[in-house]
A and B are shown apart, each in its own frame.
Chain A
């Protein structure tokens, strides 16, 4: 099993540009989570899906953030337009059960200059 796969590993972009982060969950997992890691807030839940349906997006900071899960094997997190304060490590995780058994990807380190 390849685990949760995120791409790219690193992204450097200019303020105002669109950024798209990608995630491939573990096959058979029906929950997918997007987290953001910052020093101040730790691991902060942005949004999660169950069976490809967004369940809770209350952690999405602003309308500039959007996430989709068009099928069970792919999800994207998009930031448009990006701002320097969006700089963080973004993690995707998947699980068979919602409250535990998470497998995290290696993360995408986003730097907005």
Chain B
């Protein structure tokens, strides 16, 4: 039972263009969402997050959008750079606003390749 789904296993984008990575979730109790980036032979590292009371959060070239009614979030990278080539994981937790968040549920990941 995959509560967080990333339906695109891979994505290829040209340098300078926009990369859009998508994520869907099924658990309506999730109230905090995160994106992690993972390079080969390394552990995932935190990239950006958003709480369920917002619909957009921006950090430099990275923007996360949340559509609660559709249970969908996306990560936009503009402009894409070769160093962005990595696997991106979407993650979610519940209990953010009650201070009881305990664990992250991750998706299957999307491999992004930024070509020259």
- Give the B-binding residues of A (Cβ under 8 A): 4, 31, 33, 35, 39-45, 48, 50, 55-56, 91, 93, 97-107
* Secondary structure type dominating chain B contacts: loop
Partner of B42, one of A41, A42, A106: A106
CA distance A59 to B23 in the complex (A): 22
CA distance A56 to B105 in the complex (A): 13
CA distance A98 to B94 in the complex (A): 10
Q: How many A-B residue pairs have CB under 8 A?
A: 74
CA distance A93 to B103 in the complex (A): 11
- Give the A-binding residues of B (Cβ under 8 A): 2, 6, 32, 34, 36, 41-46, 49, 89, 91, 93-96, 100-109
The answer to whether A104 and B93 touch across the interface, beta carbons within 8 angstroms, is no
Point out the residues of chain B lying under 8 angstroms from A33, CB to CB. Answer: 103-104
Beyond the given pairs A56-B102, A99-B32, A100-B101, 7 more chain A to chain B contacts, judged by CB atoms under 8 angstroms and listed by A's residue number, are: A40-B108, A42-B109, A91-B43, A98-B95, A99-B96, A100-B49, A106-B42
Partner of A93, one of B2, B6, B43: B43
The answer to whether A41 and B43 touch across the interface, beta carbons within 8 angstroms, is no
The answer to whether B103 and A45 touch across the interface, beta carbons within 8 angstroms, is yes
In the complex where A33-B103, A43-B109 touch, is A99 in contact with B43 (Cβ < 8 A)?
no
